Structure 1
Amino acid sequence: MLKQSTSLKVRLPALVVALEVVMLFLYAVFVTYDDDADAKMQTNETRPMDNTLYRDYHFFADVQVMIFVGFGCLLAFLRLYGFSGMVFNFLTATFAIQWAILVQGYFQFYSDGKIHLGVINLLNAEFACAVVLISFGAVLGKVSPVQLLVMALLEVPVFSVTEWAVLKYIKINDAGGSILIHLFACYFGLAVTFVLFRPSLNDGHAKDVTCYQSDILSLMGTLFLWVFWPSFNSALTLKGDDQHRAVLHTFIGLSSSTLTAFAFSAMLNKRGKLTLADIQNVTLAGGVTVGATVDMMITPAAAFALGVMGCTACMTSAASTTFTASQGSSPRWRGICAILLATEETYGPSLYETFAYRAPPEGDPKLLELQKLIPGLKPGLGRSGKEQAVYQVAALFCTVSLAALGGIVTGFVLKLPFLASPSDEWCYDDEVFFEVPSDFDSPGLLKVPIDSQETKV
């Protein structure tokens, strides 16, 4: 019989109702429409097609597919944990996006003390959600939905504070989120698992296995992520040539990492066969690796090389067997080199748009000259390429430190006994939290219900 401590009958409804009541209050008090969604701001001269909806919605829709379909299917790779992988992803993502709109909006309050909600807010919230879902991969099968909601509740603010501090005070380039999304999520997830470590699972678990159907479903998730990753990496870049480069570099990086993953998978397998886990996870490494430099003039050849490097790092890493680690182990030092080598000779005046913090400061005569060439160019900090590279390194260490600290604290919170954590024997099993069909766990055969003595064939 299942232990009563895993029952969701009171815990999940109580937590969800409490969270939704608090958020309803916060939305009512602090959230309003942005100008492009506010009917009062529209006039006879307003051109509907100039609305930011038509600029941002297709990116939002693409990332939606990645979040709910791509991640959902990818996390359903365990034989007895398909319901949980997809449904807990659905539950956690929905809450994380709602919560991130508020938390991220706190750092963007307008003069009226309101969060002005537009599609761009939803898009930013989905990036915060992606952080939670990547970290979810590190604890998959070993936590309850109540614990996942608590993890999202704590991780979103830690991520948002890190994002705000790094972008506002350290000021870096990270268009595709290699540092602030993937690196943060990796170390946060690893820190949580460090605290939640279960010694009895160290040598594996009988239910920590895949099957033919679950592997196919997970591979579908990989394909959805692969197809839409260019939108993920380019969504928040500067419109125009920067965004164009981001799409090109992401596709090239993904393509090269995919081919390299196939080669490595066959080469490293003792019998010279392909391992599906490599295809499911490591093929995506190129999208992560190019992230920090995705909008820069790194050349298509460099994007190709970054894809190969990212895949190689994942395949040769001892931690590459987990989804989270494979997302966090891709090299990012190429981005620092790209910043060091970025010059006006390569970029022209647009150097100071792509690297906004290298623009001349207020009062510098060069700023006036540049503003004639680039109307609307804002004053920067006048950093050199070397100085900006140092700040990129500082951002790496800051992100890892805050993620690890936040993950450790979160791990201790998740160990609280009333959060319905499954026992070791019931890890990786849908039956702990779901009513399962009669053929659960037995393809082609009917399963005997737990509370029944009858044998069904």
Structure 2
Amino acid sequence: TVIAFPVLLLLLFSLFVTYDEHAHALAQTNATDHMKNEVYRVYPFFADVQVMIFIGFACLLAFMRLYGFGGVVFNFLTATFSVQWAIIIQGFCHFYHDGKIHIGVFNFINAEFACAVVLISFGAVLGKTSPVQLLIMALLEIPIFAVTDWLIVTYLKINDAGGSIVIHIFACYFGLGVTRMLYRPSLNDGHANLTTSYQSDILSVLGTLFLWVFWPSFNSALTLPGDDQHRAIIHTFIGLSSSTLTAFALSALLDKKGKLSMSDIQNVTLAGGVTVGATVDMMVTPACAFALGVVGCCACMLGYKYLTPFMATKLKIQDQCGIHNLHGLTGLISTLAAIIAILMANEDTYAIYQVAALGLALATSVLGGLLTGAILKLPFLSQPTDDYCFDDRVYFEVPNDFDAASTLTRQSQK
């Protein structure tokens, strides 16, 4: 199956992909001002998003003591395939004419946004799925996402610059749909491998720092150049800063001994980047961005403390990385903030479109996730057994000190 994917992509690239006017030599003339080439404007954003996708997400997902290889390497594998597949699928939706998909660096940014959707969903099933299952999930999720995004942008004309609806909400509820179908009752009682280590927590928080630093580029990459893009950067930085300060305060406040939790620092500090997303380029004031970061952080923190266990035991939704807290709840808050901002600007009709976009994203993501999860349950896709979840030995040649770490982990559970 894995070998079939590069063959498929090679065939599609050979048949349909060519350069756009900014990359095609035949489109250049003696009068062409090469310094106005689009690459000089968009490549810095592309490079920043690259760091988020391939380093930020990868390190963040390496928090488990015995699944660090899986978190980093399967992120690498899934991201690489997702970007290439998204170039094709989004190309047919947005960049197809004259029988070809015309691509430039701008296409890569769009493709990496689609890739981010898959990686967020990946967080819900981390350690419980095989590499083949992850590639199948990406294969199915990206077309569903691309069609949803196309409908929201083309027909509802929603300006969701930070992707709160089309990226975070869609990815979250798609991932929850998948993990609901892959429910494992025994995991509600805990698992011996679900532990962290000093080193794995440090690596994970480094992923948080990479995401934190480059998130302003993520939120502003697709906004209009000029003041819109400038506001997007400002709002994102303020939102992230306020959610970080609030996360530190709440982490100590909610702990019985007043100590900080590394899981809070790894995840909750990022909440502000999502909650400002839907209003990121609007004239909502810096104070509003600060408040959104605080509110998003509070919702995210309480979600990890109380909602995640409830969903696992009562709703049979085992959200391994808590994507519902960091992406779902905060995405809903962001969308609500955008609706309020639009109503205050007396744009009632546009607010209705915003609600419609939210409904469409929820419907397609949940249904798509449930369908994808049902497909991933097929026995020939090599899903690991309950005993071998969150264990690198299933898929990797591991170093000699791995067995010692595994023994120590199991002894600590007794």
TM-score when normalising by structure 1 = 0.84
Q: CA deviation at 1:29?
A: 1.1
2:146 equivalent among 150, 154, 160? 160
Letter in 2 for 1:340: L
Which residue number in structure 1 is paired with residue 314 of structure 2? none
Letter in 2 for 1:431: R
Structure 1 unaligned runs (5+)? 1-14, 343-383, 448-457
The answer (yes or no) to whether the contact 2:66–2:405 under 8 Å persists in 1 is no
1:394 equivalent among 356, 362, 368? 356
Which residue number in structure 2 is paired with residue 248 of structure 1? 234
SS, match of residue 202 in structure 1: helix
Letter in 2 for 1:390: I
* CA distances 1:195-226 after superposition (whole Å, capped 9, x unpaired): 00001111211101111100000000000000
Is 1:324 aligned to 2:286, yes or no? no
Is 1:336 aligned to 2:339, yes or no? yes
How is 1:281-430 mapped onto 2 (pairs within 5 angstroms)?
281-317=267-303, 318-319=306-307, 322-325=321-324, 326-330=326-330, 331-332=333-334, 333-342=336-345, 385-430=347-392
- 2:406 and 2:176 mapped to 1: Cα distance? 38
Which residue number in structure 1 is paired with residue 315 of structure 2? none
Q: CA deviation at 1:441?
A: 4.5
Between stretches 117-126 and 39-48, larger displacement belongs to 39-48
- 1:304 and 1:397 mapped to 2: Cα distance? 27
* CA distances 1:4-33 after superposition (whole Å, capped 9, x unpaired): xxxxxxxxxxx1221211211111111100
Q: CA deviation at 1:176?
A: 0.3
- 1:239 and 1:341 mapped to 2: Cα distance? 25
The answer (yes or no) to whether the contact 1:253–1:306 under 8 Å persists in 2 is yes
Which residue number in structure 2 is paired with residue 268 of structure 1? 254
Is 1:21 aligned to 2:7, yes or no? yes
The answer (yes or no) to whether the contact 1:173–1:392 under 8 Å persists in 2 is no
SS, match of residue 242 in structure 1: helix
SS, match of residue 37 in structure 1: coil
1:50 equivalent among 11, 36, 41? 36
The answer (yes or no) to whether the contact 1:254–1:307 under 8 Å persists in 2 is yes
Q: How many residues align?
A: 392
Q: CA deviation at 1:167?
A: 1.2
Q: 1:441 to 1:210 in 2, by over 3 A?
A: farther
The structure with the largest helix share of the pair is: 2
* CA distances 1:389-425 after superposition (whole Å, capped 9, x unpaired): 1110111111011000000000011001011110000
Q: CA deviation at 1:445?
A: 9.5
- 1:21 and 1:437 mapped to 2: Cα distance? 32
Q: CA deviation at 1:443?
A: 5.2
Which residue number in structure 2 is paired with residue 358 of structure 1? none
Q: 1:184 to 1:130 in 2, by over 3 A?
A: same
1:199 equivalent among 160, 178, 185? 185
- 2:70 and 2:362 mapped to 1: Cα distance? 29
- 2:408 and 2:289 mapped to 1: Cα distance? 50
- 1:179 and 1:444 mapped to 2: Cα distance? 40
SS, match of residue 115 in structure 1: strand
Which residue number in structure 1 is paired with residue 102 of structure 2? 116
- 1:39 and 1:201 mapped to 2: Cα distance? 56
The answer (yes or no) to whether the contact 1:31–1:115 under 8 Å persists in 2 is yes
Structure 1 vs Structure 2: percent identity of aligned residues? 67
The answer (yes or no) to whether the contact 1:187–1:403 under 8 Å persists in 2 is yes
The answer (yes or no) to whether the contact 1:34–1:117 under 8 Å persists in 2 is yes
- 1:341 and 1:441 mapped to 2: Cα distance? 60
Letter in 2 for 1:207: N
SS, match of residue 428 in structure 1: coil
The answer (yes or no) to whether the contact 1:70–1:225 under 8 Å persists in 2 is yes
Structure 2 unaligned runs (5+)? 309-319, 410-414
SS, match of residue 402 in structure 2: coil
The answer (yes or no) to whether the contact 1:80–1:441 under 8 Å persists in 2 is no
Which residue number in structure 2 is paired with residue 134 of structure 1? 120
- 1:123 and 1:103 mapped to 2: Cα distance? 14
Q: CA deviation at 1:338?
A: 1.1
Is 1:97 aligned to 2:83, yes or no? yes
Q: 1:440 to 1:173 in 2, by over 3 A?
A: same
Two-structure CA RMSD over aligned residues (Å): 1.5
TM-score when normalising by structure 2 = 0.92
The answer (yes or no) to whether the contact 2:66–2:406 under 8 Å persists in 1 is no
Q: CA deviation at 1:171?
A: 1.9
* CA distances 1:318-337 after superposition (whole Å, capped 9, x unpaired): 34683412221111211111
Which residue number in structure 1 is paired with residue 397 of structure 2? 435
2:263 equivalent among 271, 277, 297? 277
Letter in 2 for 1:335: A
* CA distances 1:301-352 after superposition (whole Å, capped 9, x unpaired): 000000001001111223468341222111121111111223xxxxxxxxxx
- 1:152 and 1:31 mapped to 2: Cα distance? 20
The answer (yes or no) to whether the contact 2:64–2:194 under 8 Å persists in 1 is yes
The answer (yes or no) to whether the contact 1:439–1:445 under 8 Å persists in 2 is no
Letter in 2 for 1:176: G
Letter in 2 for 1:100: A
How is 1:437-452 mapped onto 2 (pairs within 5 angstroms)?
437-442=399-404
Q: 1:176 to 1:423 in 2, by over 3 A?
A: same
Letter in 2 for 1:338: A
Q: CA deviation at 1:107?
A: 0.9
Larger radius of gyration: 1
Which residue number in structure 2 is paired with residue 8 of structure 1? none
Which residue number in structure 1 is paired with residue 312 of structure 2? none
Which residue number in structure 2 is paired with residue 187 of structure 1? 173
- 1:183 and 1:29 mapped to 2: Cα distance? 34
Letter in 2 for 1:141: G
SS, match of residue 425 in structure 1: helix
Letter in 2 for 1:105: G
